[in-house]
Each structure stands twice: as structure tokens, then as C-alpha cells.
Chains A and B, each alone.
Chain A
Amino acid sequence: MKKVFITLALVLSWTAFSQELTAVYEDSLTEGSLTRVSSFNYYSSNAFNNDLLDKFLFGGAITGDIKDQVTNGLKRVNSFGAEAEQTIEHYNAGFNPIGNPKYGFVASFSDNHFVSANLSSDLFHTVFYGNADRVGDTLDYSFSHLQYMHYQKIGIGVFDKQTLSSLRINYVAGSKQTQGRLSNSFLYSENDSLSLALQGAGFRTDLTSPYFAMQGHGFSIDLNYNFLFETKKGNAQIINLKISNLGLIAWNDQTNIYTIDSVTNYTGFDIKNFINQPEDAPSKQYNFLDTLGLQQEKGSIVSTLPIEFAIQKMPMRNSDKKLQAILGFKAILTSDYFPYLFGGVYYAPTDNFSGSTRLSYGGFGGLQWGIDLNYWVKDKVYIGLGTFDMIGNISKKYGFGRSVNLSAHFKL
């Protein structure tokens, strides 16, 4: 039931509209206000196709064929990532918070989920196949990584009424986080022994519920800068620069912090420990975690938010050209995320409707094809719907994730 509520909340939030669509620069906001709601949701992988991922989302048996197909496509770095960001922003041109009439006031709230993971090929093999076919071989788990964060941002700031550039300072309420990373780790299997080397560290916040668990506090700065210029031919152009999540969360002192640095050799039980023992011999208990040497302690810990950097050439709604080029670059500072490049075209057949399509490569996934549709109602209401991964949305075999973005704004 709880799962249903959470999912319902997430999906209903998609009725909002995303600033993460292929953003279209519209116009200045010199008076009145603008309220924007958006929903930006995707999961993506460069190695795990939808056949596999759907089994985790919708249930079902992961067959040998599914596993084999994924295995054939595994790489040195096998990334999986996901983001679900639901945002509401309010731009008010009538309120000048720093006394300069050039700048208006902006406030925002967002709920953010972020997943970033990387499984080594051998870790995937161990989890989904076991070790029976790799006896006499080493399964290398080094540099596998998992990170999950859930947090909310409440921000206030100023925006440039002319360009809609903004600078926001956010209070960050940390809901929950789990993170772990292995360094030099492997499993070596022989017929009569197993050697497991584990070296790594991680932490897990104490509570898994409620949804807004409030287990950490932090701050972040978001910068959104629109650079307007003209080409030699006099065509207006705009370059958008975004730096988001420049901040951190301090998790409370109930956070479970784990470290491990051990080599465990397991040869089975020595029968001598069980036969011919005195009747009053203490009973033997086997504690797996103790044997592995996993160290656990409670304490507070500080983690950085997933810093995002993006630069893109945006299409302009009021351009006299029906066809405009779009291109850009995005990076999230996590080891599992590759530089994300995209390029495409924007087409506006009428004043109140436009669409765009783009090809992208990188991020948590590989090559992706995206489509956006935009619709305006009398310059007062905007509705946008799009995806960055159309192939993933329609294909299980060739898709490596899914993406849905929705956005809307209302001018008052």
C-alpha cells in the first residue's frame, strides 16, 4: 500500500511540467508573475536493457536469455542511474528583493530522488549466475558503486527579469541516503575453498520511512544563467549555463557507517571442530558479518549533493526562424555518469506550437533519441511533454531505460 502511495505521488507529480524539457527561451518577465511546475524523470543504463530492468519494476522471471543478452553487452563500466525531480517554482517580477528593479524574486520547492550505480561485470555475473561456472577463476568486484539519495530543496533567490537568469539558495532537507563503494574486491573460487576480498566503505541513514524522513540538513546553490547575443547575421541566440546542487547534506548521528577491509578464506567446516568434543563444550555460532570483518558504527556524516553542470544552446520562441538548432552538454559529478552530449533541431510551425527532436550520448546510458512537444495558450499558459529516451520508452530489447518529462507554466 505504501508503495502504491509513493508511486501515485510520483506519477501525479508528473502532471507538472519540466524545466528539463528542451528548454525554450520565451521572453522577459518584466511584470506580474510566473508559476512553473515540472517533472523530470528517467532511469537509464549503458548496459542493462529494459528486458532486465522491467523485471525489477513489474516483476517476473529473469530468464537465462535475458541474463545472457545483458552479459553480452556488459562493458568495463556498467552504469545505471535514475533521477526523479518534481519542482514548483514561482517567479515574481513585482517584488525586488535586493532593491534593484532589474531583479525579481523567485521561490521554489523540489522533491528529488537520485540513483547512481556501477556494477562490475563480475559482480553482475555473481549476482545473477553465481560462481559455479567460474571455479578456478577470479570474479573482480572492484570499483562497484551504489548511491541513492532522497532530498527536498526549498529555495529563494533572484532572477533577471530580462533574461530569466536566476540565482537561488536552497535549504536542503535530507530524507534518506544509502551509499557504498568497493575498491579492491574479488571472489576467487576453487573446488575446496572460496577467497573473498572486500575493501570498501559506505553508509546508510537510519530510517527508511516516512517519505519525508528529515534525517539530514544542508544547503545548495543553483545558478541558471542565460547569455543573450546576436550572430554576425543579426540572429538572436541564447546560451544557457546551469550549475545546480552546489551544496551538501549533513546526516544525523544515527547514520550507520560501514567499512570493510578483509580477506576471508572459507574452506568449509573442519569436521574436527564438531566430533569428539566434550559435552559441555560451548556451542559454536557462525556470524557471517563478523567473519567478513564488516565494521559498523553510528555517527554523523556529510555528503555532497550530485553537482550538475550543463551548457546548452536554447531555441527561442520568438525567433523568426521556424527551424533552429539545439545542442548542449551536461555533467553530473559522480563516477558513474559519462559526459552527456546532445544535438537536434527545433521546429515551430505556428506561434503556439513547436516540437523538437534530439540525439544524445552519455550520461548513465548510451545513444538516445528524444522528442519534445510544446504548446502555448495565448501566451499565458504553456504545456510541454517530452522524453529523452524514445527508444527506451517503446522497446524492451533495444531500450536501456525510460524517460518522461512534463512541464507547464502559468503567467499571471
Chain B
Amino acid sequence: MRKKTLISIILAGVVLVACKKEATTWSTNWAAPIAHGHLTINDMVAEDNAETNTEGYLSLVIHEPVFEFSLDTLIQLPDTSVVEKTAIGIPSLDISPAYVQPTEYNQVLNLGGIELKEVVIGSGFIETRLTSVWPGKASVALIIPEAIGPLGSFGGVHYFEAGDVVESVSVQTTDMTDFNMNLTGTEGLGVNTIGVTAIVQSDEETETYTITSSDTNTIGFSFIDMVPKYARGYFGQYTFSDTTTVSLSQLNRIVAGSIDIDSIDMKITVKNGFNLVAQAKISLFEGTNMRNGSMVDLDFPAKNTTMNIDPASGGYYDYVPSEYPLDINNVNSNITDFIENLPNTAKVGYKMDINPFGNISAGNDEFFPGSKMELFLDGEFPLSFGANDLTIVDTLDIEWVDTGEITPGEADVLLNYTNGFPMGAEATFYLLDASNNVIDSIVGNSGIQGGSFDAATFVTAAQEGSISFPITATTFENLERMKRLILRVSFTTDGTENIKISPETFFEFNLRSNLQISVSL
């Protein structure tokens, strides 16, 4: 009986201790900073893109190419193989050990409408493949005297065994980088022509052998990935014309509201980095706000006007592109209307003629290393504007991190700020699942109050404030399901007049959380 009692007690102990029926849990509350910052315009845009203008407030400035192309797609040395067959012009010939026969010939390249006189190779290879059917040993020194590289002229000696039974083959590959190739041939008068010298010798020490007119040897060149970095010649006549639609992706994020802009000053410069004559014409510049279908056609003086683009000046090492500037501002164009329409697509129609008057350079068009035809934009956008519920939306891909034994319960995310910008903002976060369905949202208890703008001094009196973003336990559960986060912020400027942003304008904030965390062990 006692034994049974003891065993019962022991088993009860086992059950009590070993079978922990549920996890040990408790709740904690944590206060921790999340983020902070003191932001000025220079933190939001690159330093080179913000300048203080003559009136003492900020302008956004742009100095960058917006469109460019090179002619390297036209001026090509395509991958090609050319083979020259050689045989003696008499029935037979005895080849003694002292036999030496130099030969010169022109190897013509087929380059379509381009007539090149000179190229400098940026990269690529030439493979030479020679065959011999002579019944004795022979050698061929193959040289292109006017193809001069860092170590001298292109060339090499090919040696052949007797090829009367099995054709003897010799192959060599040469890196052509930085080779300067004259393409005027052996006479110096041609185009697209390589002047080749081949010196044929017997390679026998004592034996003399006989060849006949039917013994045909070959000299072959293969161009492999040859890309010129400089070319001179006549590049041909070409016309490019197109109407293309450009997506203005940054403006895609604006989904509602309007802006009012004082002035914009732009200069688009057509730069020609080639030593050739060209003509250009912009026939269409149309911006469409796809959200409301509103379209504005940008008018400016040079529109639909054929512009003669002069050749670049200078030479290989010191070429200077020619420039053709187009001024576009709110006096000579409707650029403010164009921008205030908030276009998220632009349709551009253009035409460009290369060598519209033919070979007027007498075959001296030049393509320099790095030279290109480009549209370069110099723009000044004074930060003097009004915004009315201008709403910007950005979408972020989010991967929620598994928090393991720690489960967030509720949180109160607090934003304390000092806003020196004369703009207020309302922000809402939307949580999206894998199917892009909105499953929850996080909204502050108020918006960010804008500073008060003084139009006389351009000074904004900063506004301090605090916003609470309550996050419920349900929202935390939805955060785990969330795959994307949409941030929707709408801006409205202070007062009814356009505001101006001074260099000292700042937004300072401190984001912290009071987070309830449940621990489960």
C-alpha cells in the first residue's frame, strides 16, 4: 500500500512538472527612439541641385544631359572574315632554300555606306589564318605596315610543314587595342582598304621542291569584336526621326492636388561632339497628366525650326563640341503651364539629319573617343510655389522580420517635430497584402502643421508639434501579413500666396515609440 502511494506521488510530480500546459507569458512596455533628423533642402536633393538665387531664396537647379546618343552604332568594323587566295601564274616553279617572294596587296573591307580612312581601335582582335599546300616547308611573314600599335606595326611570321598530303595551317590572334589603322590601302588613296605585305620563303635547309599553278594557298583575316574609338572618313547620310513617349516617373507619385509656380528658366543645349554637320528639329513636346487626361503642348521659339548644328572643333585629344542653345522660360514659352499640369508622361517628336549636305568635309568627318550628340539641360526652378493638397504616394516593398518569442502588442508611435517649411502635411500609411489589397492603415491623430511664411522677408516661423500614430494589436498582426506599404502624403502651403523656401528652412523631428511587447517562453 505504501509503495502504491509513493508511486502515485512520484507520477503526480512527473505530470505536474513535465507537462507544462501553456507558455509562460508576460507583458512589458518599452520606450525607445526610432529615428531622428534635421533636414534641409540640401539633405533632400543633391547639393549641386540647390542654389540660393539672386532674390535670396532657393532654386532647384539642374545641369545634366537628358538625352544623348553616339555614332558608334553606325561606325562599326563588323565581325567579318576575308580570304585572299594565292597561286603562281606559271605552270610550275622550283622552290630552293634561298627562295624569297615579297608580295603586296590591298584587302578591302565592306563597310556599307561608310568610307573610313583611319580608325583607332578601342578594343577587339584580328585573327590571321594562313594555309599552305606546298609540298615543302615554307614561311610567310604577314605585315600590315600602316596598322601601328604600341609595339609597332601589325605582323607575324607563319611557319608551315609540307602541305601536299595534309593542308598545313597557321593561326595567330592579335589584340588590336590602341592600334591606329590607316585604311587608304598600299597606294594611300583608297578607303576601307588594308594594305597588306606578305613575304613568302622556303623554310627548307637543303631541299628544293616544285610547286605548280594549282597549288593555292590562302591568307585570311577575321575581325573579332573590333570597336573603334576614333574614326575619320565620310560617315554617310542618315536621318533619325521618331516620336517617343517618356515616362516622368517622379511625377507618377503625385496623385492629387495642384501647384502654382512663379517662374522657370530652362536652357536646352544641343551639343555636337562629332566633326560633321548635322541638323535637328523638335517637332513635338507634349505633356499629359494621365490621372485627369489633361494635356499641355509645350511651345517655345525653336520648336519646329530646323537647327543647323555645327561640327565639333579641335582634334583627337582636344575636341570641343559645338553647342546650340535653346532658351525656354515663362516669357517665351508656356513652361509654367506645362509643369503645373503635373504631367507624368511626355511625348517628344524629333528629327535629326547627319551630313544633310553629303560629303562636304571631303571625307574628313571625325568621331572622337567619347564624343556624342546630346541634349544638355540647364534649368532653374525657383522654390516659389503654392501647393494645394498636393498628394504624393510612394510604395515600399516590405519584408516583415519574424520576432520569435516576442510579440508586439500595441504601440504608440510619437512624432515630435519642428517644421520650418511653410507647408503642412497629412500622412497615412496603408498596408497591402500579397494581392495588393489594403488590409489596414495607420493614421496620425493630426497632421504636420506648416510654418508661417512672411512674404516680405521670405522667413518662415517654425511650427512645433506632436503627432501620435496609434498601432493596435490587430495592426501588428496585419503587419506580419503585409508585403507592401503605401505612404500617402498631401502637402498644402501656408496662406494663399506662393511661398518661397529659404536656405535655412529645416524640418527637425524625433520619432519614438511606446511599445507593448508580450514575451512568450
Q: B37 within 8 Å of A by Cβ?
A: yes
Q: A56 within 8 Å of B by Cβ?
A: yes
**A119-156 near B? 1/0 per residue, CB < 8 Å:** 00000000111111101000000000000000000000
Contact of B517 among A55, A130, A276 (CB under 8 A): A130
Alpha-carbon distance A15/B3, docked complex (angstroms): 10
Chain B interface residue number, banded = 35 or more
B35 touches A193 (CB 8 A): no
| Partner-contacting stretch, out of A28-36, A165-173, A263-271, A330-338 | A263-271
Q: B94 within 8 Å of A by Cβ?
A: no
Alpha-carbon distance A4/B16, docked complex (angstroms): 10
Q: B302 within 8 Å of A by Cβ?
A: no
A193 touches B33 (CB 8 A): yes
From residue A64, how far is it (CB to closest CB) to chain B in Å? 8
Q: B388 within 8 Å of A by Cβ?
A: no
From residue B464, how far is it (CB to closest CB) to chain A in Å? 14
Q: A296 within 8 Å of B by Cβ?
A: no
| Partner-contacting stretch, out of B23-31, B292-300, B367-375 | B23-31
| Partner-contacting stretch, out of B41-49, B176-184, B188-196, B432-440 | B41-49
Residues of B within 8 A of A191 (CB): 31, 33, 416, 510, 512
Q: B34 within 8 Å of A by Cβ?
A: yes
**B9-36 near A? 1/0 per residue, CB < 8 Å:** 0100110111111111110111111111
Alpha-carbon distance A14/B31, docked complex (angstroms): 47
From residue A154, how far is it (CB to closest CB) to chain B in Å? 26
> Given A130-B30, A276-B45, A62 and B24 touching (CB < 8 A)?
yes
> Given A4-B18, A276-B46, A59 and B34 touching (CB < 8 A)?
no
Residues of A within 8 A of B26 (CB): 55, 61-62, 67, 128
Nearest to B13 among chain A residues (CB) is: A11
Q: B514 within 8 Å of A by Cβ?
A: yes
A270 touches B35 (CB 8 A): yes
CB-contacts of A254-300 with B (<8 A): 266-272, 275-276
Nearest to A133 among chain B residues (CB) is: B29
Nearest to A62 among chain B residues (CB) is: B26
A8 touches B14 (CB 8 A): yes
Q: A412 within 8 Å of B by Cβ?
A: no
Nearest to B412 among chain A residues (CB) is: A132
A192 touches B21 (CB 8 A): no
Contact of B20 among A57, A62, A67, A194 (CB under 8 A): A57
From residue B279, how far is it (CB to closest CB) to chain A in Å? 36
B37 touches A271 (CB 8 A): yes
Alpha-carbon distance A133/B35, docked complex (angstroms): 20
How many A-B contacts are there with CB distance less than 8 Å? 111
Alpha-carbon distance A7/B16, docked complex (angstroms): 10
Alpha-carbon distance A49/B275, docked complex (angstroms): 92
Q: B162 within 8 Å of A by Cβ?
A: no
Q: B66 within 8 Å of A by Cβ?
A: no
Contact of B512 among A57, A59, A268 (CB under 8 A): A268
Q: A76 within 8 Å of B by Cβ?
A: no
Residues of B within 8 A of A59 (CB): 20-24
A58 touches B21 (CB 8 A): yes
Chain A interface residue number, banded = 35 or more
From residue B191, how far is it (CB to closest CB) to chain A in Å? 44
Residues of A within 8 A of B25 (CB): 60-62
B36 touches A14 (CB 8 A): no
Residues of A within 8 A of B36 (CB): 192, 267-271
Nearest to A12 among chain B residues (CB) is: B10
A272 touches B13 (CB 8 A): no
Q: A380 within 8 Å of B by Cβ?
A: no
B22 touches A11 (CB 8 A): no
Q: B143 within 8 Å of A by Cβ?
A: no
Q: B6 within 8 Å of A by Cβ?
A: yes
Contact of B17 among A7, A132, A267 (CB under 8 A): A7
Q: B39 within 8 Å of A by Cβ?
A: yes
CB-contacts of A8-61 with B (<8 A): 8, 11-12, 14-15, 55-61
Q: B108 within 8 Å of A by Cβ?
A: no
**A100-133 near B? 1/0 per residue, CB < 8 Å:** 0000000000000000000000000001111111
Residues of A within 8 A of B266 (CB): none
From residue B5, how far is it (CB to closest CB) to chain A in Å? 11
Residues of B within 8 A of A405 (CB): none
A266 touches B31 (CB 8 A): no
Alpha-carbon distance A189/B515, docked complex (angstroms): 14
Q: A3 within 8 Å of B by Cβ?
A: yes
Q: B339 within 8 Å of A by Cβ?
A: no
Nearest to A59 among chain B residues (CB) is: B22
Nearest to B16 among chain A residues (CB) is: A58
Residues of B within 8 A of A62 (CB): 24-26
27 A-B pairs with CB atoms under 8 Å apart are A3-B18, A4-B14, A4-B19, A11-B17, A14-B13, A57-B17, A58-B16, A59-B21, A59-B23, A60-B22, A62-B26, A130-B31, A131-B32, A132-B30, A132-B515, A191-B31, A191-B416, A192-B36, A192-B512, A194-B32, A269-B35, A271-B35, A275-B39, A275-B43, A275-B44, A276-B43, A276-B46
Residues of B within 8 A of A (CB): 6, 10, 13-14, 16-26, 28-37, 39, 43-46, 416, 509-512, 514-515, 517, 521
Residues of A within 8 A of B (CB): 3-4, 7-8, 11-12, 14-15, 55-62, 67, 127-133, 135, 189, 191-194, 266-272, 275-276
5 tightest A-B contacts by CB?
A271-B37, A268-B33, A130-B28, A132-B29, A62-B26
